[in-house]
Structures are given as C-alpha cells and as structure tokens.
Amino acid sequence: MTSPRLLLCCGTGGVGKTTTAAALGLAYAIAGYRTVVLTIDPARRLADALGLSHLDNDPQPVDLSSLSVAEGGSLHALMLDRKATFDNAVRDLSTSPEAAEKLLANRYYQAASTRLTGAHEYMATEKLHQLLTADRYDVIIVDTPPSRHAIDFFLAPRKVQELFDGPVVRRLVNPGRGLTGGGTRRLFAWVLSLVGQDVVDDIAEFFRLMGGVSEGFARHGAQVETALHSKQTDLLLVTTASTASRAGAVSFIREAAAEGLTLHGFVINRFIEPVDVPLHALHPAPNDVSEPLWHRWSVALRHEAVRRNAIAERHHAAALDLSQTAGQVPVWALPLLTEGLGSVTGLRQLAERLPPLTPPLLGPQS
C-alpha cells in the first residue's frame, strides 16, 4: 500500500485557510487524485466552501459532475467530531464488543471523552490515523486550527503516546501493579470512605477497560507522528499580505522549526495583481455621455489602476519577503473574490491557482 500524500494547511484565523484547504482539495481532485479534506475546526466553513448542507465525522462525497475532472479524481470532506471519534476508536481497539460497550457506558469515560484536556487534538490524531490507513485516498488535506493552536495539533501525536503509554496510565491499567497494588489499595480505601463503593468501582472499571485500548491509542499516535515528519507530508502556511498576518506567519515558522517541522510553501490569499493602466479612453464617448464626463471617468479609471498597481507591488514584495524568510520556499497567490464561492464551480477559480494545477508565483518551480 502506497502512503497517501498529506498536506497540512496552517494559518491564523481570518486569512481564508478553510476556503484554501477546500480549493486545494478540489485542485487535486480535478488533477485525478482521490482526495479528502479534513477540518479540525468545528465551524461549518468547509461545508459552506464546498456547497454542502452539512459535514459530519465520516467522509462525504462532493459532487464534481459540473466540472471536468481527470479520470480517477474524487473529493470527500469531513469535520472532526471528537466524541464520535473517541467512541469509534474504543469500539475498534477494545478486546471485545462487550468490553467496548462497558467502557462507553462508564461515567468516567464519558467525562474523559468530552472534557479531557487536549481531547480535540488527540482525536484529530486518531481521525488522521484512520484516513492514513484507510487505503481510499491518494491525498489527504488537513485544515488545522488557527496557528495559536496549530503547534498543539502537531504535538498531539507525541502527547497521545505519552498519555496512553506513560508510567501513570500503565500502572493504573495493569491489574497486577496498578489498582490492586498495596499503595493504591490504601488510597482507594480512603477514597471509598469519602465517595462510596459505586464510585470506586466505576473508577476501577474505567482504568481496567482502558487497558484494552491504551496501547492502540499510543501506537496510532506514534504512526501519525512518523507521518507528520515524513517526505510524504507538506506543510503549507496560508496568510495574507498584511503586516499582521505576515508577522503571525513568521512566528509560526519559528515555532514549527523548533519542533522539527519544515515549511514547504506559502499560499497568500486575497492577493492583488497588477493591471494595465489606460493612457486614454479606448474609444470616443458614447452618444449619451458628454465629453467632459467621459474625460473625468477616464482620469478616475487611470487613478484607480495606478492605486491598484501600487498595492500589487506591495503584495509582490510581501510574497518575496515571506519566501526568503523561509528559505526560498514556493509561494502561490489567490486573488480576492467577492462572489462565486459556496460551490465547487465557484471554488474552481481558486483551485486553478493552486498545486498541482499551477506552478507557484515564486519559488524553485516557477
């Protein structure tokens, strides 16, 4: 089985990251790849971008019948549901269906699956593992959380291993050395005097049953961490040309580098491109427009073109600066679209500017 290519879209909030991830998925589907887009963000932006009524925890097909798609190309999308992912993993990893149902019904499992610190990132790891091993996709695109949480996403696989394969959990789930050990029995005797036998029994059963799934969670975490650092994985940073967005991008690059992650390219959203400046009216004034009015309109048009080109020059300089900051990585540019999104037909306007359909604006492949 060939490992699928993994593309991770990162960026601060409000830069159009989810729309870019959707457009990137469409681009690979059009090029003939079996593609799936996973969003970690619980908002419905991905569904909106693809023109879908809703998304859930299972990959849903996106209708591409209105587009010309290379043979074999397809697009699926899903939105992480951490509780459903946790429950499904328990069913898959438990020693028996009966053990799984007991664990799912346990009140401490129910609390852990909804309130455990980092549970969203942990279950993103589990869902990503499912997609990587499904043997259904050539390309997996992940719309990560905003960059202030993105590093947590990349650290989650390691934390999953530490949590489920660490000495504390191993001691608790090991019936020979954990809950039945002398020190632990004395502790539980004290807890028993405070909360009663039913609570202690529930806690003991929770850790006993978790013993059947903890090794699986740790193993999956290790496999996902390996995938994130493999040559099959590309990290794309979505930003805009604004000073604030670029500052956030540079900060993320530094944090990612500290964790051994390599940036493979930028996507600059809402990029302004230059236009030709009209030197004079292209034809005489229409019959119903006076010459003075037509002249004023022509002057205003020239001024607007000059203003736009000044912005375009700044955006191009920003793209060059970002590329150089990250070691001459490729940069793709997406135009500002005010309408037409919300369907795959409209989204194609962006997909056509992205890999693998188009080489970068700047970088080694240009």
pTM of model > 0.95: no
SS3 334: strand
Domain range annotation of the chain: 5-92+118-157+226-273+317-351
User: Hey, which residues does 239 pair with through a beta bridge?
Assistant: 268
Provide the 10 A C-beta neighbour count for residue 36. Answer: 27
Q: Are 74 and 61 in contact (CB under 8 A)?
A: yes
Q: What secondary structure letter does DSSP report for 1?
A: -
Structure tokens belonging to residue 29: 């589907």
Return d(Cα 338, Cα 341) in angstroms, integer. Answer: 8
**pLDDT tens profile 61-112:** 999 999 999 999 999 999 999 999 999 999 999 999 999 999 999 988 888 8
Q: Token pair of 112, please?
A: 């852990």
Q: Cα 139 from chain centroid?
A: 13
Q: Which secondary structure element, helix H or strand E, spans residue 36, and what is its range?
A: strand 34-39
Q: How far is CA 171 from CA 110, 122, 175, 180, 326, in A?
A: 21, 21, 8, 10, 44
User: How far apart are the C-alpha atoms of 116 and 240, rounded to whole Å?
Assistant: 34
Residue 105 makes CB contacts below 8 A (sequence gap 6+) with none
- Which residue type does 72 have? G
Closest to 234 in 3D by CA, of 137, 330, 101: 330
DSSP assignment letter at 362 = B
pLDDT value of residue 180:
46
How many whole angstroms separate alpha carbon 109 and alpha carbon 319?
48
Per-residue confidence (pLDDT) for residue 184, from 0 to 100: 55
Give pLDDT tens digits for 301-323.
888 889 999 999 999 999 999 99
Distance (Å, rounded) from C-alpha 155 to C-alpha 26?
28
Only one residue has tokens 């190309």, namely 73
CB atoms within 10 A of CB 205: 17
- Do residues 332 and 355 make contact, with C-beta atoms less than 8 angstroms apart? yes
Q: Let me know if domain 5-92+118-157+226-273+317-351 sits in CATH 3.40.50.150.
A: no
What pLDDT sits at residue 83?
93
pLDDT beneath 50: ranges in the chain: 175-180, 191-196, 366
